[in-house]
Amino acid sequence: YQAKATGAGSVFYTQSLADDLHRRQRVSDRFKLALESDMFHLVFQPQVRLEGGSFEGCEVLIRWRDEELGAVPPSEFIPIAEELGLITKLGEWVLSQTCRHMSDWAARGLSVPGRVAINISAQELMSSGYVANLEDTVASFGCDPSAFELEITEHGLMQDILAGKEILNELEDLGFRIAIDDFGTGYSSLSYVKHFSADQLKIDLSFVRDMMVDPASNAIVAATIAMAEKLGMQSVAEGVETKEQADALKAMNCPIAQGYYYSRPLDAQDFEDTWLIPANGTT
């Protein structure tokens, strides 16, 4: 009986592994096509100041709706893009599209206050010529480096600390801002934080999600905010979904928040209509 149950389990396991591989192959194939034919778009999620609620900037997130697969989340296709060696090309697309939106808004007297944050994969950051390309692209759209923030995951930075540090320094010298994303999930020693002079520390949404029910998560959030402040970094709480979370974060002196409680990520037109106000107040 036992053996039979185990046998059935392994058949099931083999089947689901095969399904996973099949899905991965399908996503890879469709991804290559999507990249050739410009099938992605960007969404924008505002960041707000917890005290007073002012609009302080936004994060750019990529979206892909495939004709055959439907919506494929970035958590699924970004690792595939990395594996295929296509993340640099995808990153260039994200950057130039972001610049295109920003210069289009600027031409119409609209702008994002603070910074526009873009996610950068570690593989992209470490690729040769990355900094020069970034600089050229931003300049070619007439954008200013200081309008951008580059979000790099803590995990990504830990892969090659010395190289990462050198590139971040180059980027900062050019005026780009740096954010450490998903802070708390990278299995790194806290002492590594001091190697990276980042402007922002983004507290991973898993801690924010659990902070009202799990004392350990609550303590980690509070400690991260206090540490960031002492190190001269601005903390951003990711994934804020409720007023209770917002109030608790405010009580911990967290300066900035981002999450569904304030706004879902919005497509360019909705973002413009809802959050971008003409500087001179006319239309």
* Binding site residues, ligand C2E, CB under 6 A: 45, 61-62, 73-75, 78, 94, 119-121, 151, 181-182, 205, 238-241, 259-260, 265
Among 56, 154, 182, 272, binds Mg ion (CB under 5 A): 182
Q: Please answer whether residues 130 and 124 qualify as being in contact, where contact means their C-beta atoms are separated by less than 8 angstroms.
A: yes
Q: CB under 5 to 8 A by kind: which of ligand C2E, Mg ion, none does 94 bind?
A: ligand C2E
By C-beta, is 86 or 227 nearer to ligand C2E? Answer: 86
* Segment lying near Mg ion (by CB under 5 A), choices 37-45, 125-133, 147-155, 274-282: 147-155
Nearest distance, CB of residue 199 and ligand C2E, angstroms: 16
Contacts of 243 (CB under 8 A, 6+ apart): 261
Q: CB under 5 to 8 A by kind: which of Mg ion, ligand C2E, none does 154 bind?
A: none
Among the listed residues 198, 248, 204, the one whose alpha carbon sits nearest the alpha carbon of residue 224: 204
By C-beta, is 121 or 222 nearer to ligand C2E? Answer: 121
By C-beta, is 73 or 175 nearer to ligand C2E? Answer: 73
Q: What's the 3-state SS for 218-250?
A: HHHHHHHHHHHHHCCCEEEECCCCCHHHHHHHH
Token digits of residue 46: 């505002």
Nearest distance, CB of residue 5 and ligand C2E, angstroms: 36
* Segment lying near Mg ion (by CB under 5 A), choices 63-71, 118-126, 135-143, 209-217: 118-126
By C-beta, is 151 or 272 nearer to Mg ion? Answer: 151
In 3-state terms, what secondary structure has residue 133?
A: helix
Query: Phi, psi at residue 83, to the nearest 5°?
Result: -65, -35
The CA–CA distances, whole Å, from 174 to 198, 242, 275 equal 14, 37, 28
Among the listed residues 137, 44, 121, the one whose alpha carbon sits nearest the alpha carbon of residue 87: 121
Nearest distance, CB of residue 128 and ligand C2E, angstroms: 18
Nearest distance, CB of residue 42 and ligand C2E, angstroms: 7
* Segment lying near Mg ion (by CB under 5 A), choices 142-150, 238-246, 259-267, 272-280: 238-246
Cα gap 176→120, rounded to integer Å? 13
Q: Is 154 in the site for Mg ion (CB under 5 A)?
A: no
Cα gap 6→150, rounded to integer Å? 48
Q: Please answer whether residues 246 and 240 qualify as being in contact, where contact means their C-beta atoms are separated by less than 8 angstroms.
A: yes
Q: CB under 5 to 8 A by kind: which of Mg ion, ligand C2E, none does 84 bind?
A: none
Q: Is 119 in the site for Mg ion (CB under 5 A)?
A: yes
Shortest Cβ contact with ligand C2E: which residue? 259
Q: What's the 3-state SS for 156-202?
A: HHHCCHHHHHHHHHHHHHHCCEEEEEEECCCCCCHHHHHHCCCCEEE
Nearest distance, CB of residue 75 and ligand C2E, angstroms: 5
Alpha carbon 82 to its chain centroid, in Å, reads 16
By C-beta, is 56 or 238 nearer to ligand C2E? Answer: 238
By C-beta, is 26 or 261 nearer to Mg ion? Answer: 261
